[in-house]
Amino acid sequence: MMAAARSSSLTPVLMLVPYFAPQSHAAMFRAHKLAKYLPDYGYRPIVVTTDTNYLYNEDPRLLSELPPEVEIHRARYIEPTLRGIRMAFGGADRRFVALKKTGKVAVSAQQPPSGDSPSLRLPSLGSLVADVIGDWPDRYWTWTSPATRMAEQLIRKHDIRLLYTSANPVSFLRAGLRIRQRNDLAWLFDSRDPLGYGQKHTAKGGLARWMEHRILRSVIASADHVSGLSGAYGPIFFDLFGLEEDRWTFIPTGFDEAYAPPAAPDKRGRNLLHVGEVMVNQSPHVFKTLEYLLETTDKDVPFDKLVFVGRREVNEPIIRRMTANLPRLMERLAFLDHRPQAEVYALMREARACLLVPGPTRYWWNNFAKLVDYIGLSVPVIAHVPLVSEARHELEKAGTAYFLGTNIAEDAAALAGWLADGPPTAISDYAARYTARRQVADFAALFDRLLAAKGDAAQ
């Protein structure tokens, strides 16, 4: 009864999100934390998401964390691939989580992937199907119509006046456009990635790119406000789409304090930790630096293991290939498969230092998910990032990073001393900027403003 009474006093907000619990990959947590804590700030999340998770790990405990005020609806999603079509007609379950349970997702640890050129292979039937019907402009286009119908029913049922959309993928924004055109809503478009910018976040193929650009331009013109998890996204959207500065807000994702282990800076271990998936274009500089450190240190080596936690079937082949000629470092590698967030936080707190090492030229605009947790937990960070970058900007404010340069010998000597002396843990109070409570409080304040502007102030 108390939950029902509380729900009736909260202002409903429709959350149109591509990834949601029990999915447990990094892109889900921003929306999960928002839904988890919004009721404490006067809002009732009504979530519309997909009904099938084809690609990612899951953790059912994430659903149990949500308060009873959160209402979740799942619209039909058929992946436009041979797998998705077969499953829609009763075929075998070929989702990632199902294959992993049966052991069909394997780690090729000792044998890196073949070097055969993809151009020499004949295309599979599945790849042909995906190429023909897949990217319009992304693989979620089949979800747009079912989600729009479901959302409009919920708007009428709950008298919803506030819409939150998260993207990518862009198809979720197309659903947002349709909903906005038919309903008088205040609309916040929250960007997890700088859509339409760079190779990684731009649709592939001429038609798909044209569709993506058209959708993005319409969304940024139509949404009442745009927010993003990186401060760099604002200038990108100013340049690409003419977004006005007063319609932009930087709200970083925050680490969830509910998962945080007790702080114990005086009991840090001797392992270095890399969190999340390793990128294929990962910079090798940090690995060569650590190898040189091991080679030139006679005694009192300042770390025991280099531990990678994340999808092992992704990380281990890449790292073993990158360190194949680094024998001392290879002896100290360890790999842990995907872990619940609370366990990952405990590993961070116990690590000598954590790694953020995409390299000196890549992802200047990125506020990495792992960086959010590193700052929020005030853990030491070994960073190799562009000199002008969002990551460096935020780490300098936090004051807990050692920044690698370009000279392996110089970096190895300085890093050995930094690790041996005991890296800093909390030089500033900037960590408070990176908590889930702060994230949700900032969103709630923005919701208040948007509803007030619509003449419909939050209860």
Q: Please write the tens of the pLDDT for every residue from 403-456.
A: 999 999 999 999 999 998 876 655 557 888 899 999 999 999 999 999 999 875
Task: State the Cα torsion 443-446-451-454 to the nearest 10°.
Answer: -140
| Cα Rg of the chain (Å, integer) | 23
pLDDT of residue 117: 33
Kindly state whether residues 197 and 292 are assigned to the same domain: no
Kindly state whether residues 62 and 49 are assigned to the same domain: yes
pLDDT of residue 198: 86
pLDDT tens digits for 310-356? 999 999 999 999 999 999 999 999 999 989 888 999 999 899 999 99
- The domain that holds 190 is classified in CATH as 3.40.50.2000
Is residue 367 over pLDDT 50?
Answer: yes
Kindly state whether residues 140 and 222 are assigned to the same domain: yes
pLDDT bin (cut points 50, 70, 90) of residue 112 is very low
Is 127 among the domain residues? no
> String of b and e for 11-46 (b: at least 16 CB within 10 Å)?
bbbbbbbbbbbbbbbbbbbbbbbbbbbbbebebbbb
Is 154 among the domain residues? yes
Task: Report the pLDDT averaged over residues 298-310.
Answer: 90
pLDDT tens digits for 125-150? 566 555 666 678 899 999 999 999 99
Kindly state whether residues 309 and 397 are assigned to the same domain: yes
Tally of domains in the chain: 2
Is 93 among the domain residues? no
Is 272 among the domain residues? yes
Is 366 among the domain residues? yes
Kindly state whether residues 315 and 168 are assigned to the same domain: no
Whole-structure pTM value: 0.89
pLDDT bin (cut points 50, 70, 90) of residue 25 is confident
Burial class (CB in 10 A: 0-12, 13-18, 19+), 284: middle
pLDDT of residue 250: 97
Average per-residue pLDDT for the chain:
88
Kindly state whether residues 289 and 275 are assigned to the same domain: yes
Task: Report the pLDDT averaged over residues 161-175.
Answer: 94
Task: Report the pLDDT averaged over residues 378-387.
Answer: 94
Kindly state whether residues 217 and 327 are assigned to the same domain: no
Kindly state whether residues 358 and 419 are assigned to the same domain: yes
Is 101 among the domain residues? no
d(C-alpha 11, C-alpha 118), whole Å: 52
**What residue numbers bound the domain in which 446 lies?**
2-80+134-254+436-453
pLDDT bin (cut points 50, 70, 90) of residue 121 is very low
pLDDT bin (cut points 50, 70, 90) of residue 254 is very high
Is residue 122 over pLDDT 50?
Answer: no
Kindly state whether residues 304 and 213 are assigned to the same domain: no
Kindly state whether residues 265 and 237 are assigned to the same domain: no
Burial class (CB in 10 A: 0-12, 13-18, 19+), 169: buried
Is 112 among the domain residues? no
Is 126 among the domain residues? no
Kindly state whether residues 187 and 294 are assigned to the same domain: no
